[in-house]
Structure formats: structure tokens, C-alpha cells
Amino acid sequence: MDITRFIPTNRKLLLVGLLILIIFLTTFPLYSKEYYIRLMAIIFMYIVLAVSWAMFSGPTGYMSLAPAAFFGVGVYTAALLYQLKGPLLPLPAIIVVGSLASFTLAFLTGLVTLRLKGIYFAIFSFGLVVFLKELINYLEIHVSKVGGRHISYVSNTTVFYILLGICVATLLTAYFIRRSRLGLAMQSIGGNEEAAAHMGVNTTRVKILTFAISAVFMGAAGATTAPRLVYIDPGLAFNVTYSFIPILMAVFGGMGTLYGPVIGAAVFAYTEIRLRQQYPYYYMLTWGIILIIIIFFLPAGLAGLIPKLRDRLGGPISKLRKGGEAEEHAHT
Amino acid sequence: MHILEGQGVTKLFGGLAAVSNVDFHVDQGEIVGQIGPNGAGKTTLFNLISAALPFSSGEIRFKGQKLNGLKPNQICQKGVARTFQQTKIFADMPVFQNVLVGASFGTPNRLSQADAAREASQKLEFVGLSAMSATLVKDLTLVNQKRVEVARALATKPELLLLDELMAGLNPTEVSEAMELVRKIRDEGITIFMVEHVMKAIMGICGRVMVLHHGEKIAEGTPQEISCNKQVIEIYLGEEAHAGS
């Protein structure tokens, strides 16, 4: 009897795996503790940030340090619309407004800054975060005379499902952009921008468009996460760690693939939260050591482990398959 | 018919005139060569045509239409494609994807994805790289990288092709192959304007040659005329040419 018939092909395995994952995630809040629902929501948020960052910065090579700006705009838009007395708009509408605000900001800053190259673009995008924080701080103190804003409660389960939805939307967008003309244009810009322009790519338009698209998801994540923060001030909303963590996650997971940043964000967020809770004094130290080990041994990130594992495990399996085929041939 | 025509083309870098008041033209179906010592302004002239650099003054017309003020991507879509002296390839992308960029974005009328892919594989076959279509361009030899650049430029369906030192750094066999390739491109009905230091190539394939020196056009004519021109010999060979004559 041929046992290899029961070893599924990669494609089938992937589809079954995805189906199980979807069922698991959609039913997760039905049987989980509140703590784990919150934990998953945080993981989703980081997946959105890491994937949408890698969507633009991965292929084009423009290192954006602006995720915190777009995330913060989403958070602050929600804070303004979702007041303690009750929301001015229903939650989905607030999220749409938050993402549109981020889109507009990215579009306008893109017009000005995407002419900058290399480190200058990185510095400007970082400056944008600091500038927005200070600007809104000034406005809150001198104009609206509010130190911070409280937000009314939204259940963890609602936040969970909305973030799951945004997560799926981000992944689908990233997937289709990679396979589209736009993806090819972005790659050519990353490869050699001057040559891309001379081959007919409208580099300015491609860069601004994809920069703004990636900001939509960051804004949406911000607007959804805002109620979970309960109290919001400019320092919390425009916290620069929201720029650095998603980049670390994407690099940690591996930027060459779509699933790299997803794995990076999931593993990174989970271990970080658990380490912080269990070893509040040592977690930074442990965490730093883990990061160094990963970067040292896996320069392609965690995603780089998968082909290695496949080679290890796949070798014997494909040998079995080939053996089976050869036997069949022998019989005929 | 003049497919490309420049009048009083000038480019100043600060006080230095890299290209100074140059008039030139290229006729449909010609192979025109551009020679001159290093720093003569040959590549700068190409950069002005392809809009990599803005003009200081003068104008360039392609098929009677002014190119001034257009962006590089628009010039490419109008039908002027180019290669680069220092190859500018998409190093981390496979050969096929490099050429696909040209076919997807550079053509005058936008092609469907299937047509662009067909165009790209045709051009790879044309330059003889079909077997390497999945190889990353950074892993190719210099001559093959240059072929990728040519295929990528051809995939934009140009009427005029600017070749910037295609033969530089190639060995004699490769030079002969490249000359054959240039003739083959011309036979496809594409006009060629090329900068070249390899004299064998200039003498062998160009119908007409123009000579730049310190940004000025100092001579123009058939390769034979140019090779006998006293001023050109002086520039290229220096004073000793006189001693010998």
C-alpha cells in the first residue's frame, strides 16, 4: 500500500490550514477569557501596522518612520468623535473617518516628502510624528483647553472582530498589490528609481498612491484601538514606539514575503506581552537577547526558517513520493 | 525625415557648459554615433533628451513635437527609450521581471498584462536571454546585464533607441555580437543614436557620426570623413599625430 497518497500537497495543506485558522479566529471570543481576546486584538493591531508598513517600505526601499503619525491620526480622530458622553458617529463611521484622515495626511506629506531619498526621507517621516504630537498638544492646551480625552467603553469582543476584519483587508490588499502592475512598479522603484522612470513608470504617482494606501490601514487600526486605550492625550496617540515596533516586527518576521511580517507581528507581540507580565524586571533583557539571536542566525527573519524547515522535512517526504512514483512506473 | 532634432541645446552646471549650443538631428532609420573624449558632454546630451536632466536653453523635438518639460516616463511612452552607461538594472529582480517593467509601463498604448508578458518574452528571445529569464539580474555577467537593459528598452516599443556605451567593458567577441544586435534592432525599424568609445563599432555600423568636445559639436559626417578630420585626430591622438604627419 502506498502511504504517500495520504501526504497532502502543499497547496491543499495551505487551504485546509487557512480554513482551520479562519474558523478558529472567528469563534475565538465565544470560548476565550477576556484577557486572551484583548491579547489577540493587540496582535491583530500589530499585524495591520507591520503588514501595511512592509506594503510600502518593503518593495520601494523608502524607510518610513511615519506609522505612528498615521496610527495617531486614527487614534485622535476617534478620540474627537468618540466622546465620553457617547459617540458622535457609529463606530464603523468613525473608523472610516479615521482612515480617510490618515490617507489625506499621507497623500499631502507624500507630495512634499517622497522627493527626498534615503535617510532624508526617514528623518522627515520621523519628524512628522514629533511635529503632529507637538502641534496637537499645543492646540489642546491653547485652543480647546483639554489636557486629554476620555473615551466611552467599547467591548473587547467588538474591537476584536473589527481588528480581525481590518487585518484581513490589509492582507488582501497587500496580496493583490504584490501581484499587480502597481507591485511591479514599486519593486522597480526599489531596484533603481531612475531606470524605473525611464522605463515609463510614473514614480511620483506610484509612491504617493501606495504610501497613502498603506496609511489607510494604519489609521483604521488607530481608530479601532482608541477605545481600548480609554484615556488619550497627544503623547499617547503619537507615541514613536508605534513607528519602531512594526518595523522591528516586519524585519524580525522577514520582509521578502507576505507572511513574514504577519508571523513577526504575532510572535513578537505575544512574547513581548507575556514576557512583560511574567518577568517585568527582566523582560527587556530577555527580549533583546532573543532579537539579537534571530537577527544573527536568521538574517531573512523568521520567515527564512520556513524554507529551511521545508528542506529538512520535505526531503524525506518528496523522496517517499518519488519512490512511490518509481514503483508505479515499475508496475506498468 | 528628422525623427529627433535639437536646436541650441545647452546645459550649464554652474558656470561650466557641459553641452553648449549644440544643433543635431537624427533621421528615421539611421544609426548615428556620438563620439568625443571623456567629459565631452555625450551622456549629458542623452540625459537632456531623456529628461533625466532639465535644459538650460534650447529645444529638442521628437517627430516634430517638443520634448521640453516632459518627464522621463512620458518621454519613454512617446517612443524614446534608452540604456545607461553604468547599467541601471533592477538587480534583485529576475531577468523576465526587468523586461516586463518596460513592457508594462513604457509602451505608447498600455498593454494588457498578458500582452506585456508576451512582449517581454519576445524581447528576451530577441537579445538571446530566454534561457535566463528566471535568473536574478545581479547574478548575470556584465554583457548579459547590458542585454537585459537593451531588451527592457526594446520592450517599451520605442521608435528611437539611445544606447549609452553599450560596448564598454566587453571583450572583442562580445563587441562583434553587440554590433550584430544593434544592426538587428535597426532592421526592426528602430532608429539608433549611440554613444560609443569602441571605434571598431562606430566605423562598422554608424552611417553618420558627430563629435563633441568640451560640450561643443566640432565635427559631423560619415565615419570615414570623421576619421580623416584633422581636428578630431588632434583631440583623440594629441600633438604626436602632427609629428608623424
The ranges assigned to domains in chain B are 27-53+159-245, 80-158
Nearest chain B Cα distance for residue A63, angstroms = 18
Distance from C-alpha of B136 to C-alpha of B150, rounded to nearest angstrom = 16
Angle at CA of residue A259, ends A258 and A265, nearest 5°: 115
Per-residue confidence band for A310, with pLDDT thresholds at 50, 70 and 90: confident
Domain that holds residue A215: 32-243
Kindly determine whether residue A187 and residue B90, on different chains, have CB atoms separated by under 8 Å. yes
B127 touches chain A (CB under 8 A): no
SS3 content of chain A, % helix, strand, coil (to 5): 80, 0, 15
CB contacts, 8 Å: A59 with chain B: none
Tell me which residue of A232, A213, A220, A80 sits closest to A162, measured CA to CA.
A220
* A326, part of any domain: no
Q: What's the pLDDT score for residue A290?
A: 80
Nearest chain A Cα distance for residue B226, angstroms = 32
* A248, part of any domain: no
Distance from C-alpha of A52 to C-alpha of A48, rounded to nearest angstrom = 6
**CB atoms inside a 10 Å sphere around CB B134:** 9
**CB atoms inside a 10 Å sphere around CB B8:** 12
CATH fold for domain B27-53+159-245: Rossmann fold (3.40.50)
The radius of gyration computed from the CA coordinates of chain A, to the nearest angstrom, equals: 22
Nearest chain B Cα distance for residue A33, angstroms = 46
Q: What's the pLDDT score for residue A327?
A: 45
Concatenating the DSSP letter of every residue in A169-210 gives HHHHHHHHHHHSHHHHHHHHHHH-HHHHHHTT--HHHHHHHH
- pLDDT > 90 fraction of chain B, expressed in percent and rounded: 83
Q: Tell me the pLDDT tens digit for each residue of A174-183.
A: 999 999 999 9
Q: Could you give the ipTM of this predicted complex?
A: 0.91
Average pLDDT over residues A96-102: 96
Alpha-carbon distances, residue B147 vs A224, A279, A315, B19, B76 (angstroms): 51, 59, 37, 29, 18
Using CA of residue A73, residue A77, residue A83, residue A87, what is the dihedral sign? negative
Q: Which residue of A has its CA nearest to B49?
A: A198
Q: How many domains, chain A?
A: 1
Least confident of A176-185, A204-213, A263-272, B235-244: B235-244
Length of chain A (residues): 332
Residue B3 · residue B26 · CB < 8 Å: yes
Kindly determine whether residue A199 and residue B97, on different chains, have CB atoms separated by under 8 Å. no
Q: Would you state the cell numbers that stand for residue A83, as one nine-digit string?
A: 466622546
Chain A with chain B: Cβ pairs closer than 8 A: 73
Q: Is B58 helix (H, G, I), strand (E, B) or coil?
A: strand
Kindly determine whether residue A200 and residue B105, on different chains, have CB atoms separated by under 8 Å. yes
pTM of the model: 0.87
Nearest chain B Cα distance for residue A119, angstroms = 21
CB contacts, 8 Å: A188 with chain B: 90, 93, 101
Residue A51 · residue A266 · CB < 8 Å: no
